[in-house]
Amino acid sequence: MERRLLIVSNRLPVKAVWKGDELKLRASEGGLATGLGSACKDMDYLWIGWPGAEIREPEIIQELDQQLGERNLIAVYLTQTEINDFYEGFSNETLWPLYHYFPSYTIYNNENWNSYVKVNRKFAEAVAHEATADDIIWIHDYQLALVPSMVRERMPDATIGFFQHIPFPAFEIFRLLPWRKEILEGMLGADLIGFHTLDDAGHFVDTASHLLDLDIASNNLQFEERLVQVDAFPMGIDYQKYQNLATSESTARNVAKLRKMVGSQKLMISVDRLDYTKGIPQRLLAFQYMLEHYPEFRENISFLQLVVPSRDHVPQYKVFKDEIDKLVSSINARFSTIGWTPIYYFYRSFPINLLSAVYRTADIALVTPMRDGMNLVSKEFVASKPDRTGVLVLSEMAGAAKELLQAIQVNPNDLLNLVDAMVRAIRLPEEEQKANMELMQQVVAKFDIHHWVDLFLRTLLEVKSRQEEQYTRLITPSLGTSILERYENANNRLIILDYDGTLVPFHQNILQAFPDESLRALLDKLVSDPKNRVAIISGRSHLHLENWFRDLPADFFAEHGAWYKPPRGSWKLTANLRAEWKPAIRNIMETFTEKTPGSSMEEKSFSLAWHYRSVTGEIGELRARELCNNLKLFSADHGLQVLCGKKVVEVKNIEINKGNSVKQLLLDHSYDFIMAVGDDTTDEEMFRILPETAITIKVAGRSSAAAYFVKSFKEVRMILEKFSSVREPAFIGK
């Protein structure tokens, strides 16, 4: 990657720690710092983040800035109040519990929210200060969800990626948040939004569809003028590093020491940050239950639980730590014997070579979070097993469960399931262990941290170039002028217009989308120019069009071309059409109308349409998909076409389509100016059929056969307005 990468995360990969009077730099704990740090070391990067402590003295700040600068790190300093309100408050007492499905732990506090906004702005300012137009800006995690849009305000063309390392909850949970819209819009400042799993990405898209008025096509969202992609990028680890460490001499020495400590018993391990989402008490209770009910395992197995201190200023974490302390002591007090300790418990950070020895020695790793974005410990364990023995027990609530399919997967809420998994793991034959481990190692090795960084950044650049393509096809003022010039210079013009969504906005009630005064006046002016032929091609019934445009001398095609009316002529059918299929389709559509409140059916002469614009929530899209699938089965055998358009599902005879209507307009005529405008999938047929010289314009859409885009019907009207005010050039010479 030639462009510089600007990483932005709440914490820097190192933290400043006071050692007496001296400030020292230490590696930060946690998945993000560990993972991303090693992936970026060979890149041109700058990392912006908080150094992990309150520092006020200007001389110390200056010295720290220099030390950090040597490592390409830029500090954002936070005051103690900001640490309390933004970090420990809003980030860790509001977003963290809510996103991990602990709504009862969630605190909603306006002061904390204000601080969150303020600190996010601080980060955005630091980014804008450091970033050049060419940088790739990659913002990380829930603490900084507003930063993407705040940077976008300052740098509208910036390349911005956002990755959320923790789960994104289902809409029903997310909607509890009083600041839900602000958070969503904040994230949508990015061009690419990544999560660990497809479930999380899906929740985000679904939530956006509920809370914002967006144009969504699978995982592509059109937010304001920008295309934003939402996708899953399961984070990996530095596989090679863990493999190498596992076979290193220092690890071998530490393995020997560990073995001496635990003796010949089997060793079961867990490695977590202190957090109620990690399922530590549940796991301890399951271990206790196992010792109670499977006495044969007493003195034969020990459990080593490492907990790295984290957020211990947050009250919930203090209470939680006490709970673990008590559980460990009570289990040990109850079961220990002279030569055997059931649980070894360490509450501190471990250097990586010691962690490696723990993984290498372990027979079983219990990774049983209640909920986890990914969980890197499970992958580190797999990578630290060169001889491929060892069993992973993994919670199905961790993102990693989607990849590590050969682990024994458990529901951490189910005590007996946990116990059963432990017992199975202890008894699993070595051959099976090896076969499982091999498959998991293949996955972890292939989808490592380098792959993750590379894939995310590559996708981000792809989104950028897709946006670029959109922008170049967007009708800018200068492009508008050149279209107008072509119009002025032409003598034989054809202007083809779709109706709904193109000339008028959509309405909840289809009957309300009638032409307003100004549209009537505009069309009147256009048709009054003898050089113009104006055609309206709509999916509407001919009765609607007749009602609205009775006196307008234009060409009209109704029902996608089933009916035609020439200027000043009368309606006639364009083909010999069949309608004997209607009762069967009507039946199906009626069932859907009955079970979907807010939906309605429209019957036209040769088509049936099911409208769901007034259906609330995602149920409309869901039912529409179901209906389309049902109808497609039936339609294929009956020469029918199913159109799944904007908030409407329509069935019609296959022979009628807007393309054929356009063919009819082109017949026996030669035009020196053709323009066609439409917004729906049905309009694609006319865009495709027109010659390359035609000006084809898609309204409010993305992928299209049309050459150009405009954002809304208002711009279509503006173009037509300009056309209609073109005067006949003064006739010179006579």
Catalytic sites, residue numbers = 498
Say how far apart CA 621 and CA 293 lie, in whole Å. Answer: 51
Least Cβ distance, residue 444 to ligand ADQ (angstroms): 13
Position among 184, 271, 552, 554 found at the interface with ligand ADQ (CB under 6 A)? 271
Residue sitting closest to ligand ADQ (CB): 31
Q: Give the footprint of ligand ADQ on residues 145-174 (CB under 6 A).
A: 165-166
Binding segment for ligand ADQ among 6-14, 287-295, 366-374, 543-551 (CB under 6 A)? 366-374
Pairing of strands 364-367, 266-273: parallel
Q: Is 31 in the site for ligand ADQ (CB under 6 A)?
A: yes
In the bound state with ligand ADQ, the residue whose beta carbon lies nearer, of 162 and 297, is 162
CB 271, min distance to ligand ADQ, A: 4
Site string for ligand ADQ, 524-563 (x = CB under 6 A): ----------------------------------------
When the beta carbons of 235 and 558 are compared against ligand ADQ, the nearer one is 235
Per the document, the length of the chain is: 734
CB of 235 or CB of 675, closer to ligand ADQ: 235
Among the candidate windows 376-384, 474-482, 586-594, 688-696, which touches ligand ADQ by CB under 6 A?
376-384
In the complex, the smallest distance separating the C-beta of residue 310 from ligand ADQ, rounded to whole angstroms, is: 8
In the list 82, 191, 238, 372, the residue contacting ligand ADQ (rule: CB under 6 A) is: 372
DSSP 29: P
Cα angle 677, 680, 685; round to 5? 75
Longest dimension (CA), the chain: 121
What Å distances lie between residue 521 and 78, 568, 718, 721, CA to CA? 60, 18, 13, 10
- Tokens 């479930």 sit on residue: 199
Q: Which of residues 105, 350, 548, 634 is near ligand ADQ by CB under 6 A?
A: 350
Q: Considering only residues 210, 226, 273, 486, which one is a binding residue for ligand ADQ as defined by CB under 6 A?
A: 273
> Do residues 356 and 365 touch, judged by C-beta distance below 8 A?
no
**Euclidean distance between CA atoms 689 and 650, whole angstroms:** 22
Which residues in 487-507 are b (16+ Cβ under 10 Å) and which e? beebeebbbbbbbbbbbbeee
Indicate which single residue of 147, 190, 324, 355 sits in contact with ligand ADQ (rule: CB under 6 A): 355
> In the set 185, 380, 650, 683, which binds ligand ADQ (CB under 6 A)?
380
Q: Which is nearer to ligand ADQ, 137 or 237 (CB)?
A: 237
CA atoms of 124 and 182, how far apart (whole Å): 16
Task: Check residue 397 for interaction with ligand ADQ (CB under 6 A).
Answer: no
**Segment contacting ligand ADQ (CB under 6 A): 18-26, 128-136, 373-381, 498-506?**
373-381
Give residues with Cβ within 8 angstroms of 96, minimum separation 6.
142, 166, 277
How is 289-354 classified by DSSP, letter by letter? HHHHH-GGGTTTEEEEEEEE---TTSHHHHHHHHHHHHHHHHHHHHH-BTTB-SEEEEES---HHH
Q: Is residue 73 packed enough to be buried (19+ CB in 10 Å), middle (13-18) or exposed (0-12)?
A: buried
Residue 353 beta carbon to ligand ADQ: minimum distance, rounded to whole angstroms: 11
Measured from the CB atom, is 131 or 258 closer to ligand ADQ? 258
Cα separation, 113 vs 462, in Å, equals: 34
Residue 220's DSSP bridge partners are 217, 229
Q: How many residues bind ligand ADQ (CB under 6 A)?
A: 24
Q: Nearest approach, Cβ of 107 to ligand ADQ (angstroms)? A: 19
Binding part of the chain for ligand ADQ, among 29-37, 208-216, 446-454, 686-694 by CB under 6 A, reads 29-37
Pairwise CA distance, residues 291 & 69, whole Å: 53
Asked if residue 95 binds ligand ADQ (CB under 6 A), the reply is no
CB of 469 to ligand ADQ, least distance (A): 32
Residue 376 touches ligand ADQ, criterion: CB under 6 A: yes
34 near ligand ADQ (CB under 6 A): yes
Region near ligand ADQ per CB under 6 A, out of 32-40, 320-328, 515-523, 548-556:
32-40
| Interaction between residue 32 and ligand ADQ (CB under 6 A) | yes
Q: CB under 6 A: which stretch of 3-11, 247-255, 267-275, 383-391 binds ligand ADQ? A: 267-275
* 373 counts as binding ligand ADQ under rule CB under 6 A: yes
**Where are the alpha helices (H) located in 70-133, listed in sequence order?**
80-82, 96-99, 110-130
Q: Report the chain's terminal Cα–Cα distance, integer Å.
A: 68
- 237-265 burial, b for 16+ CB within 10 Å, e for fewer? bbbebbbebbeeeebeebbeebeeebeeb
465: amino acid identity, one letter: S
Residue among 137, 155, 143, 11 nearest 74 (CA): 11
Question: Which single residue is written with the structure tokens 């509890």?
Answer: 176
Region from 265-273, 388-396, 407-415, 671-679 binding ligand ADQ, contact rule CB under 6 A: 265-273
CB 217, CB 184: distance < 8 Å: no
Residue in 68, 374, 496, 589 binding ligand ADQ, rule: CB under 6 A: 374
Question: Among residues 490, 540, 532, 494, which one has the least CA distance to residue 515?
Answer: 540
Among 14, 131, 377, 453, binds ligand ADQ (CB under 6 A): 377
**Using rule CB under 6 A, residue 362 touches ligand ADQ:** no
By the 8 A CB rule, do 620 and 577 touch? Answer: no
**Minimum CB–partner distance for residue 418 and ligand ADQ (Å):** 18
Contact 73, 49 (CB under 8 A): yes
Report the interface residues with ligand ADQ, using CB under 6 A: 29-32, 34-35, 165-166, 235, 271-273, 306, 308, 349-350, 355, 372-377, 380
